[in-house]
Amino acid sequence: MLDTPHPTPLAPSTDPFALAKALSGKHFIGGRYVPALSGKTFPVVNPATGEQVAAAAEGDAADVDAAVKNAAEAQKAWAKLPARKRGALVYQAAALIREHVEELSRLVALETGKALRTESRVEANNVADIFEFFGGLGGEIKGETVPFGPDVLNITVREPLGVVGAIIPWNIPMMLMALKAAPALVAGNSIVVKSAEEAPLAVLRIVELMNRVLPPGVFNILSGQGAECGAPLVEHKLVRKVTFTGSVETGKIIARTAADKLIPATLELGGKSPMIVFADCDFEKTVAGALTSMRFTRQGQSCTAASRIFVQRPIFDKFVAEMATRVDAMVMGDPLDEKTDIGTIISPGQYEKVKAFIAEGAATAGATGRACSAMPSDSALKKGLFIQPYIFTGLSKDSRLVREEIFGPVTVVFPFDDADSVLAEANDTEFGLAATVWTNDLKIALRFAHQLEAGLVQVNQNLVVQPNLSYGGVKNSGLGKEASLESMLEHFTHKKTIMVNMA
C-alpha cells in the first residue's frame, strides 16, 4: 500500500487537465511515483487541440532495470500469498477503480481524443469489470491428481512465472493493460508495464490506485519510447514472460527476443476483420451493427474494426446508403463534450497515415469514397486531428485499403452473390483476429462460424472484448489468448508435476 506522499489527489478528480499535470514526469515503481533516472521527459498532447497537457517520464534501460528488480523482489512474497487472498486484493482494488471511473474516463479522453460518452466511459467501466472478474478467479488456480500407480501420489500444481513484462498500445490503453495485469497478478506474478508513448496518463493513475491496496512493487509502470524502454524490458534477464499488443512488425521482434531467452510471449497483433451480411438479415439491426463493428466512434482505431464489409447484392445499395446516412448523423467534436459521438485520431503520424490511405482510395479509378459526418466547427479544435469517416466501394481486392490494416475510420464495402466465394474472400488475408456474420439462416451461420479463419467469430452482434470470453487471433493476428480463465492458467502460470513414492 502507498506509504509515501504523492502528487495526485486521493479523491476522484473532475479536472483531467489538472490531473494530467500532477501525473507529469513520473513512473510508478515500488509503490511510489519516481522520475526517470535521466530526468528526461517527453510531451503528452491533447489530439483534439494540439496542446501539450503533460510531460511523461522518458524511461530507458536504467529505469527498466530498477523496475524489474523491484518487481522481482516483491514477487517472492506475493507468490506466497494464497491465491484467493491475491484475488481478494485485486477485487478490492477494482472497487477503488470503479470509484474513479469518471475521472479515468475524462483523463483517457484528454490524452487519446476518444469521445467521452461513446468510448472512454465504456472503457473505464470495462477496466473495473476485468479486475473484478479475475479477482474472483483465485480459487481456480489449482492442479490435478493424475493416476500413476497404487504406491505413488502424482499431482500437478500451478505456479507463477515471475516478473511479467507488458507492453500496451494507445487505442484502449486502460482495458488492454487490465487484460494483461489482472490475470498476471492473481496468478502470483509481479508486473512491469510499458505504456504507449501517446497515452501514458490514465494507465499510470490506475497503477497508483491499485497500489493503494496491493503490496508495493507488485504492480509497476514505466513510460518511454519503444527502442529505449520497451526493448530493454523484453530483454531483461529477470523478465520471465512478455505480453504485447501492437503491430505485427514489433510483435515479430519481441517473439524473436523471447525465443532467444526461451520465455513465453503472448502477442495480439491486429486484424483486417471481415463482416459478412446476407440478404435475409435483420436489416435495421445489421446496419446498426456495422457502425459498431467499424468502431466509428473510436475513429476506427480498433484491431477488430470491420474494415472489410461484404454485402449480398440484393441489399447492397440500400445497405451502403443507409450506413452512410447513419454515420452522417454522428457528431464529431470535442472528446470531452457529452454531445460528441466521434473524437480524433491519436497522433499526427497516424493522422497522416490514414489521410494517405483515403487519398489513395479516392484516386483509384472506379472507386467511390463517401465522406461522412461533418468536421467540427469550433475554432478551438482547428488544430485537432479530426478525420471524416469514409465508406469506399468499387475498390479491387488487391487494393492496399483492402489488404492492410489502416487503423482509421475507413471501411471498404463489396457486393457478393455466392456464399462459397465470399467465404474465400473473407479468409484471403494475412490476419485472423475477428469476423462477424449477419444472417437468420442457422445453417449458414454455423458453417461460416466454423470455416472463417479468425480467433473470434460473432453472429448477429459485434461486442468488444468481454471478460470470460477467450480472445486472440490466428495467422498474423498473433499468438495466445486473453480475457479468460484459460489465459490466466495457460499464459501466466506453469504446471509442475510432483510425484511422491509411498511404498
Question: And the C-alpha cell for 44?
Answer: 503528452
Nearest CA among 140, 102, 148, 142 for reference residue 122: 102
Eight-class DSSP state of 469: S
| Dist. CA 92–CA 90, nearest whole Å | 5
Nearest CA among 409, 128, 156, 204 for reference residue 296: 409
| Dist. CA 60–CA 442, nearest whole Å | 54
Provide the pairing of β-strand 265-268 with 239-245.
Answer: parallel
Nearest CA among 274, 195, 276 for reference residue 432: 274
Half-sphere exposure of 53 (CA within 13 A, CB side): 26
The answer to whether the beta carbons of residues 163 and 238 sit under 8 Å apart is yes
493 sits in which H/E element: strand 493-501
To the query of whether residue 103 is one of the catalytic residues in this protein, the response is no
Choice among 58, 123, 198, 268 that is catalytic: 268
438 sits in which H/E element: strand 434-438
Total count of residues recorded for the chain: 503
DSSP assignment of 210-263: HHTTSPTTSEEEE---IIIIIHHHHH-TTEEEEEEES-HHHHHHHHHHHHHHT-
The answer to whether the beta carbons of residues 287 and 322 sit under 8 Å apart is yes
Query: From edge to edge, which strands make up the β-sheet containing 410-416?
Result: 368-371, 390-393, 410-416, 308-312, 274-277, 434-438, 456-459
The answer to whether the beta carbons of residues 437 and 481 sit under 8 Å apart is no
Q: Which of the residues are catalytic? A: 268
